[in-house]
Amino acid sequence: MHSLFIKAIFNVFAPNTFFLIALGVGSGIIVGALPGLTATMAIALLVPFTFTMNPIHGLVLLGGIYCGAIYGGSFSAILINTPGTPSAIATTFDGYALAKKGDSYKAIVTATISSVIGGLIGVCFLIFLSPPLSKASLKFGPPEFFWLTVFGLTIIATLASKSILKGLIGGAFGLLVSTIGIASIGGNVRFTFGTLSLQDGIGLIPALIGIFCIPEVINMVEQRDTHYNVIPYRKQKDVVKNVTLKLLKRPILLIRSAVIGTIVGIIPGAGGNIAAMVSYNEAVRASKHPDKFGRGIIEGVAAAEASNNAEVSGSLIPLLTLGIPGAPPAAVLLGALLLQGMRPGAELFSVHGHITYTFIISLIIANLLILPMGIYSGKLVSKLITNIPVAFLAPFVVFLSVIGSYSINRNLFDVYVMLFFGLVGYIGRKVEFGPGPIVLGLILGKICEEGLVQSILMGRAAGSILQIFFTRPISIILIFLTIISAGWPVIRKFTGGKRRYAKRG
C-alpha cells in the first residue's frame, strides 16, 4: 500500500495529470456556478471522451470536475440567492444574507475555506475508512431509509424559524408535489390530470431554480433600483486572514459538518443537499446564538459547504469498494470505471491500485486547488455581480434559469415547471413562507414514500409490520435522533424563556 501511495503521488504531480486536475476543477466551478448545470451533467457529458484517454487522466479529470462543481454551486447561492447545484441549497440561507450586507466576498471566502477543509477531511475518510464504512451502508434497507427521511423532515422546524406552522405547511406541500407521477412501487398514476409530461414526476432541478431564482428576479424588478438590491461589494482589509482565523476557532463546527457530510454521502441516494441541510441544522442546534442563523453569519455558510464537499468523498466510498454509488455523480463515475474495464471491489485496490490511489490523491490536489481559484475569482465575481445594472442582470438570470431547466431533459415542460415554482416561491415570500421547508419536502418525499411502501411489504411478508419498523438497530437509533430533533426547538424555546424570566427576576 505504501509503495502504491508513493507511486500515486508521483503520478499526480506529472505535468499532464496536474494540468487535467486543474482543468477539471476550473471547469467544475464554472459549471457549478451556473444554475441548473449540475456536477452529474458535466461528468456525464465528458465520460465518453475519457474512453480514449489514459485511465488515470480520465478519472482525475472527472474527479476534479466533481469537486469543483459542488463547490461552484456556492457562488450563485451567495450572490443571487440561487443554488448553482442542489448541494448549495443550505448555503443560500446565510450566504445571500451576508451578500445583502455587502459581505459577499467574506461569504465566498468562508465557503472556499470550509469547502477545502471539508473536502480534505472527506478524503481522509475515503483513504482510511472505506471498507468498514461501506459495509455499514449495506445495512440501510427500506425501513432505515424511511426513518432517515423522517429525521430529515424534522429539520423543517429549524428552517421555519419565524413560524413552525408555516414550515409544516410548506413541507407538506413539498411532500405532496413529490408524489406526482407514476409511483415507483405499484405503478399507480397520481395527480397528472391526463398530462403525459407529469408522469415522470416534477423535476427537482427546474423546481429548485424556479423557487429560488425567479422570486429574486421579480424582486429586482419590483425594487426599481438601477443596481441589484445587495449592498455593493465593500473592500475590506485582510478578509481571508480574518475569516481563516475565525473558522479555525470553530474546529468542532467544521469537523462535525464534514463527518455528517461523509456519512450521508456513504448512504446511497441521500446526496449533498441532505448532508448540507442536516449539518446546517446541527450547527443551529449547537450554537449559543441560533437566532442569528439565516440573518448572515459565516457559521451557516461554513456548516453547509464543509458538509457538501465532504459528501463528495463519502459518495465514493461505497462506489470504489462495493460498486454502489452514493450520489448521482458517483453513479456516472461508475460508468467511467466500467468503460475502462475496472470493476469496483478488492480488484480495484490491488490489480488497479496505482490508478485507484492516484485518483484518490488527485482529490486532495483538487480540493487544495479550490483555495486559490475560489479566493481570487471570488473577489472578481463579487465585484461584477454586485455592480452590474439590474437591466442586464435580471434578463441574464432568467436566461440562465431557462437554459438550465431546459438542458436537463431538453424538454420545454421543465421550463414551465420552473416558472410555476417561481410563482410559488414569489407568493410564498409575500406571505412569509420560506422556500427551505418546501424544498426539503420535495427532496425527501420520494425516498420517504419508497422506504415506507417497501417496509410495509417486507413487514407483511415477515408477518409483522411493526417489527420491521421498530426493532432494527439502525432504525432504533434514527427514531431516537428523530425524537430529539423534533423536540429540540420546543426544549430550547422553553429553556430560553426560563432564562429570560430568571434575568428579569
Number of domains in the chain: 1
Task: From 428, 499, 370, 338, select the one nearest 70 (Cα to Cα).
Answer: 370
The pLDDT of residue 132 is: 64
111-159 tens-digit pLDDT: 999 999 999 999 998 888 766 655 665 677 889 888 888 887 776 665 6
Task: From 368, 352, 345, select the one nearest 118 (Cα to Cα).
Answer: 368
Q: What is the mean pLDDT of the chain?
A: 82
For the chain, the helix, strand and coil percentages under 3-state DSSP, each to the nearest 5:
80, 0, 20
Mean pLDDT to the nearest integer, 450-469: 90
Say if residues 418 and 402 touch (Cβ distance below 8 Å).
yes
Residue 182, strand partner residues: 189
pLDDT at 164 over 80: no
255-272 tens-digit pLDDT: 999 999 998 888 766 667
Q: How far apart are CA 156 and CA 179, in angstroms?
A: 19
In 224-352, which ranges are continuous DSSP H helix?
239-248, 251-266, 272-286, 298-322, 328-339, 346-350
The pLDDT of residue 270 is: 66
360-378 tens-digit pLDDT: 999 999 999 999 998 888 7
Q: Which residue has the cell 456536477?
A: 39
The pLDDT of residue 310 is: 93
The pLDDT of residue 232 is: 53
Q: How far apart are CA 369 and CA 428, in angstroms?
A: 39
Q: How many residues does the chain have?
A: 505
Instruction: Please give the grid coordinates belonging to residue 389.
Output: 445594472
∠ CA 75-77-81 to the nearest 5 degrees? 130
Q: How far apart are CA 182 and CA 71, in angstroms?
A: 34
Mean pLDDT to the nearest integer, 60-70: 91
User: DSSP string spanning 361-385?
Assistant: HHHHHHHHHHHHHHHHHHHHHHHHH
Domain that holds residue 393: 2-504
